[in-house]
Every structure is written in C-alpha cells, then in structure tokens.
Amino acid sequence: MSLRFVPGETVDDLIGAVREANGQGLKVTANYLGEAVTNRQQAQAAADTYLEVLDRIDREGLDAGVSLKFTQMGQDIDDAFLRENLGRVLQRADDAGIFVRFDMEGSAYVQRTLDAFETLWRDGWRNIGVVLQAYLKRTAGDVARMNELGARVRLCKGAYREPPEVAVQEMGAIRRNFVELMQVLLREGVRPGIATHDERLVDATLRFVRREGIDPGRFEFQMLYGVRRDLQQRLVEQGYAVRVYVPFGEKWYPYLMRRLAERPENVAFMVESMVKDSPLGVLFGSSAPGAGPDRTRDGARSRSRGSGGSHG
C-alpha cells in the first residue's frame, strides 16, 4: 500500500515518480517528509535534501515544484537559523525558476507560518506560496490578505484535528466554506491551487469556472499522489491543469498513518482510489465531470531580482 501513496524513500524514487506523472500530463509538487524538527543537523539535512531535489528537477527539466514545512527547516529551533536554511533553498529554487510552497501545519502554527511568509515576501521573494485550510474559522481573512499581497494560495479542506472554537467540525459546513473561499480565490487570487479529491467540490469548481468564464490557465486542481488517479486523468483529458503532491522519504509510515487517522474520509478516499483504478473501477467507474477548455502550462514567478522559469 505504501508505494501507492508514497513512491519511496530516496530522491531517485521521487524523480522516477515525477517523470511518470509528467508523462501523464500531470504537474508535481515534491515533498520531503518531515516536521517538528528540533535538531539543527536534521533541519540542515532536510534543506540539503531539498537542494538535491531542486538540482534534479532543474537538470532534467521536470514540471515540478517543491513543498516544505517551516518546522522541518528549524522554525522551533531559532528564527535566524530558519531564515538561513530557507534562504539556501529559496535561492536555488529561484535560480532555476522553481516554485516553493509552504505547507500549513496545525492551528498553533498558522499565524507564525503566515508571519514568516510575509517576511519572506517583504524581502522580495516571489517564487513562493502558502497553503490555507477551509475548515479554520480564520481562513476568510487569511485569503483576503494573501489576495491583497498577490501571493499564490493552495486551498484545502484541512487535515489536522482542531477544537470547535478554532475549526468548523461538520463536513457539510466545511464544504460550504471551501466553495466560498474557492470562489474568492478564483475571482481575486493569483493562480490558486484548488486542492481536493471530493468530486462535489471539483464539480462546484467546474460549474463556477464555466459560469464566470474563468480561463483554466488561471488556476489548477491539486491532489495527492495515488489518490483518485481516475479523476486526475479525466481532468487532464478535459484540458485542466492538475498537480499531484508527491511525498517521499524515510518518514512515510507516520505520514500515511496520520492521513488515515486524522480524518475518517481519508480512508474512504484511499480505498476508493484503489478500487476505481482497478479493472472493476474502470468497468463501473463514475462519469467524468463536464468538459473544459485547453490546459496551459504553469509558470513560477521568480523573485523580483531573479530570473523567471517554467516550473510551478
């Protein structure tokens, strides 16, 4: 099961999965698994791994960006150390025109993550974006702020267990939040990532895009590696940009267990993915969402004093 959702532990494993995804018309966000690092050597090693990933993406001309967590880079160690680690990664990414996304962690880290992001933005980095979670009650304000900056946002439902005072608990209400935020991002945001495997939300996005006449080059769908491959391919065939989040590394087991434990619907998504991609799934699979216009290639906007590139 692990290789279905995590291609392996090494950079070579990752790059093989990226090549395969690109060959299927999918863009990629690569993630080296790890978080809550409190050891300087481990944080530096994580940054070094990202440098290796960036080198390989650049050298092979792959359509991929990277996604990382601030706590993996040393946020809980020291702010100056975090900036030093991030600086190495961001400079190499900027040199290659590769986009870097900062994953959002639990609610205790949201403000710290957004503060750190805005510091980097003020410093002139433009090859960066952030993740916002629809179930958090604060997220409408965060979306407005990111749109004001012109920063790129990946919108997801949210995966961490959070108390009722912080996050919406009922799935119907979370979906309604997601749709409202999706519409704001598509109207006012900069190439948002609509990150969901939920066909109700995918269909809601497609209906809104068609009704508003929004060019498909202004956004992309984003999904996890190995989850709903059938839906990923249908959207690509209809001309939409789809990016898959490809995690790799030694910490694959905690990653999978957390995905399964945090939200019961994650189990359903994974089981459904394996069934729908099987011969039975091909025979009895659901119909595709409606057709859409031509797909366009993503482009990372580089740092104001750096060079542009074609990686997203």
DSSP 213: T
Task: Name the maximum alpha-carbon separation found in the chain.
Answer: 55
Residue 229, CB-side half-sphere exposure with 13 Å CA sphere:
18
Catalytic residue among 103, 142, 277, 298: 103
Site of tokens 């912080």: 166
User: How far is Cα of residue 92 from the mean position of the Cα atoms in its chain?
Assistant: 20
* Gap between the Cα atoms of 125 and 117, Å rounded: 9
Quick one: which H or E segment has residue 100? strand 100-102
103 annotated active-site? yes
Q: Where does residue 25 fall: left (phi above 0), alpha (psi -120 to 50 degrees), or beta otherwise?
A: left
Q: Residues for the chain: how many in total?
A: 312
Distance (Å) of CA 45 to CA 254, 305, 312: 19, 28, 24
Residue 9 burial by CB count (10 A; 0-12/13-18/19+): exposed, middle or buried?
middle
Catalytic residue among 92, 154, 234, 295: 154
DSSP 192: -
Catalytically annotated residues: 103, 154
